[in-house]
Amino acid sequence: MNIKINSVKFTASKQLETFVESKIQKLGQFSDDIIGAEVFLKLENVQDLENKIAEIRIDIPGNDLFVKKQSKTFEEATDEAVDALKRQITKVKEKRRGI
């Protein structure tokens, strides 16, 4: 799986990039069809506490899945986004099976 991580308005630490990559890799357990993932980590409205945004786009044959989550930390936002993607992947698989 090809994972591309982009940080907007800041420079992501190696530790944060490793964390995000490991979370995205775990999505492979839910679907073998994942071609790649593109992650945007954004910093917005510096005065607000919940100013960290994680946007993840997953490439799956037939359709792309997209999630955007905002939280206090990039790790928390990534966790929430990955959980939402797990639900989306499950729905797509069920739809293909005709359940």
**pLDDT tens column, 48-78:** 778 899 999 999 988 899 999 999 999 999 9
- Answer yes or no: are the C-beta atoms of 34 and 58 closer than 8 Å: yes
DSSP 16-70: HHHHHHHHHHGGGGT-S---EEEEEEEE--TTSSS-EEEEEEEEETTEEEEEEEE
Could you tell me the pLDDT band of residue 88, with boundaries at 50, 70 and 90?
A: very high
Confidence class for position 44, pLDDT limits 50, 70, 90: confident
CATH number of the domain at 61, please. Answer: 3.30.160.100
| pLDDT of amino acid 57 | 97
Select from 24, 29, 33 the least CA-distant residue to 5.
Answer: 24
Q: For the whole model, what pTM was predicted?
A: 0.90
- For residue 51, give its domain range: 2-97
Number of domains in the chain: 1
